[in-house]
Amino acid sequence: MSHLVKQNRRQTVAQLTVQYNAGPSASVSEHTVQRTLLDMGLCSRRSTRVPLLTKSHRQLRLQWAREYRDWIMDKWKRVAWSDNSRFLIHHVDGRARVRRLPGEQLLPSCTTGHTQAGGDGIMLWGTFSWAALGPVVVVEHTMKGANYLNIIADQLHPYMAFVFPTGNGIFQQDNAPCHKARIVLEWFEKHTDEFHLMSWPPNSPDLNPMEHIWDVMERQLRAQTPPCPNISTLRDRCLDIWYNLSPVMYQKLVASMPRRVVAVLKAKGDAIR
């Protein structure tokens, strides 16, 4: 039975029963197949979402990990992490279900690839560091270079000046097109005496501790009742959750960075979560 599951992790119990009964063994019922799978520990679980990585992506992730593997915690504490995420009024989880054993969640046959992207909802941009939770912004329009520059100048700049007044702060952002816009890069160049940009590999949300914060917020949002009836309520609830995030939680996320770097090295640049 185990080898049939591993041939196609996405088969249902009914499909596995038909396939098993087509073999030389005695015929069994779906109930027997279900019980056998559970006894073997092959439970049905949601497939793990991982970033779609090309060979070039993996090489750049390895290069990044080698660049930062010798960083001590004092350096990681100087990084302001940033990201954006979409929150929907009606949550939809389209992940497929697979049968796997504990510890198999990152096997290629047990994962679903996805890209970073943009239902009715809101887009949030936020930043944080070890020292303090930063601002969170509701992004009203498509994030273009000019919109992003407004966020950087009006929200990030004062935050970096407050948290890192000596100019030793480091800002992390991913490789979204708006982050690479000429007007944005020119702004960062003019402010290198106040803080520096961190290098970042492509398609690597699993390396960014902000992803965990978004997950925490999503879970807290879905646990609230009644469900959000409109965009205004969704916005208010998201902002309330953000500003009540535990410092212990986000400091633990920063403290996880050395382990993430080691994990990337061990995975030879592949996805680590």
Q: Where are the alpha helices (DSSP H) in 69-227?
A: 73-76, 145-151, 157-163, 182-190, 210-223
Instruction: Give me the mean pLDDT over the 161-173 stretch.
Output: 98
Residue 118 confidence (pLDDT): 38
Q: Are residues 4 and 27 in the same domain?
A: yes
Domain with residue 59: its CATH number is: 3.30.420.10
In a domain, 6, yes or no: yes
Rounded to the nearest 5 degrees, what angle is found at the Cα of 25, between the Cα atoms of 23 and 30? 85
Q: Are residues 180 and 70 in the same domain?
A: yes
Name the pLDDT band for 23 (thresholds 50, 70, 90). Answer: confident
Q: Are residues 138 and 248 in the same domain?
A: yes
Count the domains in the chain: 2
Which range has the worst mean pLDDT, 47-51, 68-72, 239-243, 255-259? 47-51
Is residue 98 within 8 Å of 109, Cβ to Cβ? yes
What is the domain range of residue 132? 55-91+117-267
Nearest to 137 by CA among 61, 52, 242, 4: 242
Residue 7 confidence (pLDDT): 72
- State what percent of residues in the chain have pLDDT above 90: 67
Q: Are residues 173 and 60 in the same domain?
A: yes
Residue 244 confidence (pLDDT): 98
Span 45-91, pLDDT tens digits:
665 656 679 999 999 999 999 999 999 999 999 999 999 999 999 76
